Amino acid sequence: MKINALVAHDATKPLSSSQIALRPLQQQDVKIEILYCGVCHSDLHMARNEWAVSRYPLVPGHEIVGRVVETGTDVTNFKAGDVVGVGVMVDSCRECHFCQQKEEQYCESGFVATYNGIDKYTGDSTWGGYAQNVVVDQHFVVSVPQTLPLAGVAPLLCAGVTVWSPLRHFNVKAGDKVGVVGLGGLGHMAVKLASAMGAEVTLFTTSPAKGEDALRLGAKRVVVSRDAQQMAAAQTSLDFIVDCVSAPHDLDPYLATLKTNGRLVLVGIPEQPHQSPNVTPMVNRRLSISGSSIGSIQETQEMLDFCGKHNITADIELIAGEEIETAFARMLKGEVKYRFVIDMQATHW
């Protein structure tokens, strides 16, 4: 089944429209007509081979919202016409400890990524959401609440669940003092979700001009991280921080803003490592640093249902596929407000 997609042919050339072949529909598969796909910073890291794992040709995109057009004979969860989402995973081993616990993102064999993964059936690459269609096993498809504007839902499938998962896993609750570092795609979802959970949110940003937006999105306080005085004023004020920055940076100033027993969770995956943090304050104040990888299918559904109930979607700029390189360039400058989303119907292939 040949379809049109935006393809990265190597790390240096711009993405261009080409045809790719999707796998034939399997018994458990759902074929989706893609309506919208968010543009995650991971797509840019991967298109440019910044993590040194990219295999070309590569079709990015793992924030997919679309409509079911066909289902395999064993599909029970979905039917043609349903509005559904697909995030970062399209399969996993289903047998290991983590798969059994419904934490497929930590599958011991490694989950099958929506793109640049190995398709179980064809042995070929998996192809992402910058495309007209995708074929996915029903277990890795989620339902989208009917009430939400669909373009703004797309970024929830990666950016949303990636910040939702650590907030839930580490039991962030109403009244907690939560810091969010970086107001990009992930960061702006962290501000929205943490404040909707009742936490009091402080946003750290390198872009003073984003301050007003942060307050509108739900933050109670904005700290310009390059201003030493503002950072000093925020010392030992937070219980929990989600660091959503895509570039290497010094973690020590953020650790200093945590109270005793506080935790810094890293979700950004920079091309180069962060410098090692100073352990002394970590020891003296029993601080923790954690990482967190996306979120499970179950968490993705819970987050979407929460967003449906609280009327939460991403703040987006809608683009056509042919504008992707401009979008990447603006993303690199930290200039996105706050997620680009590709409108497949507006795209000329």
- Kindly determine how many residues on this chain lie close enough to bind ligand NAP according to the rule CB under 6 A: 32
Interaction residues for Zn ion, span 141-180 (CB under 5 A): 158
Radius of gyration (Cα) for the chain, nearest Å?
20
* Residue 179 near ligand NAP by CB under 6 A: no
* Residue 107 near Zn ion by CB under 5 A: yes
Q: Which of 181/294 has CB closer to Zn ion?
A: 294
Interaction residues for ligand NAP, span 2-31 (CB under 6 A): none
Among ligand NAP, Zn ion, none, the one that 93 touches (CB under a kind-dependent 5 to 8 A) is Zn ion
> Which stretch, 36-44, 70-78, 106-114, 146-154, contacts ligand NAP (CB under 6 A)?
36-44
> Which stretch, 17-25, 176-184, 257-265, 300-308, contacts ligand NAP (CB under 6 A)?
176-184
Site string for ligand NAP, 259-278 (x = CB under 6 A): --------xxxx--------
* Residue 205 near ligand NAP by CB under 6 A: yes
Minimal distance, residue 237 CB to Zn ion, in Å: 30
Among ligand NAP, Zn ion, none, the one that 92 touches (CB under a kind-dependent 5 to 8 A) is Zn ion
Which residues are near ligand NAP by CB under 6 A? 40-42, 45, 158-159, 162, 182-187, 205-207, 210, 244-247, 249, 267-270, 292-294, 331, 334, 336
